[in-house]
Amino acid sequence: MAGQFYPSDPKELLASIEECFTGKLGPGRKPGTISGPAIRGLVAPHAGYMYSGPVAAHGYLQCSGLEGLRLIIIVGPNHWGIGSGVATFQEGTWRTPLGGVEVDAEAAKALVEAAGFVDFDESPHRQEHSIEVQVPFLQYVCRQGFKILPISMALQDQETATTVGRALGRLVNGRNDTLLIASSDLTHYEPHETAQKKDADLIGTVLELNVERFYTVLRRLNVSACGYGPIACVMTALRELGVREARLLKYATSGDSSGDYNSVVGYASIIFT
């Protein structure tokens, strides 16, 4: 997705990421030492950087204070419906203009064995952006030393999400060197005020880490969040780990960047501590 969702030139990419942090919708400063409770999870949007990058930067700013990260699990939706219903990557390196990030083959193998229906399948990842766009942010904030476990979800029903989430919780139980990221945009292509109202109700259930209410609100309001399964999956995993605190850092829509409020996409940055 380099050259599409984010710049393909390394210098331009770094400048774009820094603008996400320092621009008007961003947190207003570059990453540095952040004090506060340790972050265990994150909801981050995945549109083009010019639209959702500043919102994502709020969460990644908080991640800049984390030390000793070794495994970052990124769960994203499969927009194209290609390949397995839930797919991870067996081994290899994901390359961006900022360099390569290795897949944690041991963690991937453990997940496939634990979850039962997660497959090794590269095909869903080949043209999917939802996981990939998070990687340059992680490279910028965490520098090096971490591996990723990418999980692409075409099946996003509650049973699938909670089953995978519980497996992830068991996988990282007892580890303090992991971060879980749910990649999702929220309401799609509705008026700004409508999107704000729907997304506020859905975000409220995320802040409670209440997966049951999350799916109830999703259905009742017909919220067109594209990564609802990944959000529920990460919430489930974090509850398995004893996490009960969440905080909304930033909400905005594409209209706040483009000026077109007639048909927007909603973006939120949420951290779990």
Give bridge partners of residue 267 from the DSSP assignment. Answer: 252
Nearest to 48 by CA among 155, 165, 136, 148: 136
Q: Identify which of 129, 136, 137 has the alpha carbon closest to the alpha carbon of residue 77.
A: 129
Residue 240, pLDDT above cutoff 80: yes
| Span 95-103, average pLDDT | 96
Confidence (pTM): 0.96
Looking at residue 258, its amino acid is: S
Distance CA 160, CA 150 (A): 16
The three-state secondary structure class of 115 is helix
Which pLDDT score is estimated for 32?
A: 76
Q: Looking at residue 124, what DSSP letter applies?
A: G
Amino acid sitting at position 64 = S
Please determine, for residue 10, whether its predicted confidence score (pLDDT) is greater than 80. yes
Q: Is residue 207 part of a domain?
A: no
Is the per-residue pLDDT at 78 higher than 80? yes
Average pLDDT estimate for 243-256: 97
Q: What local confidence, expressed as pLDDT, does residue 37 receive? A: 66
Q: Which domain holds residue 15?
A: 10-192+225-272
- Is 61 part of a structural domain of the chain? yes
Residue 2, pLDDT above cutoff 70: yes
Mean pLDDT of 182-202: 98
**What percent of the chain lies above the pLDDT cut of 70?**
98
What are the C-alpha distances in Å from 224 to residues 58, 151, 228?
23, 20, 9
Report if residue 3 sits inside a domain. no
pLDDT attached to residue 115:
86
Q: Domain for residue 259, yes or no? A: yes
pLDDT tens digits for 132-164?
Answer: 999 999 999 987 789 999 999 999 999 999 999
- For residue 268, tell me if it sits in a domain: yes
236 contacts 165 by C-beta, under 8 angstroms: yes
Name the 3-class secondary structure at 235. helix
197 within a domain of the structure (yes/no): no
What CATH number should be reported for the domain holding residue 32? 3.40.830.10
Alpha-carbon Rg for the chain in angstroms: 17
| Strand 93-96 to 178-183 pairing | unpaired
pLDDT tens-digit profile of 209-227?
999 999 999 999 999 999 9
Q: Is residue 219 part of a domain?
A: no
Number of domains in the chain: 1
Using 50, 70 and 90 to split pLDDT, how confident is the model at 67? confident
Q: What angle do CA 47, 89, 161 make, to 5 degrees?
A: 65
Task: Reply yes or no on whether the pLDDT at 35 is more than 80.
Answer: no
Residue 36 in this model has a pLDDT that exceeds 80:
no
Residue 140 lies in a domain: yes
185: confidence class by pLDDT, cuts 50, 70, 90: very high
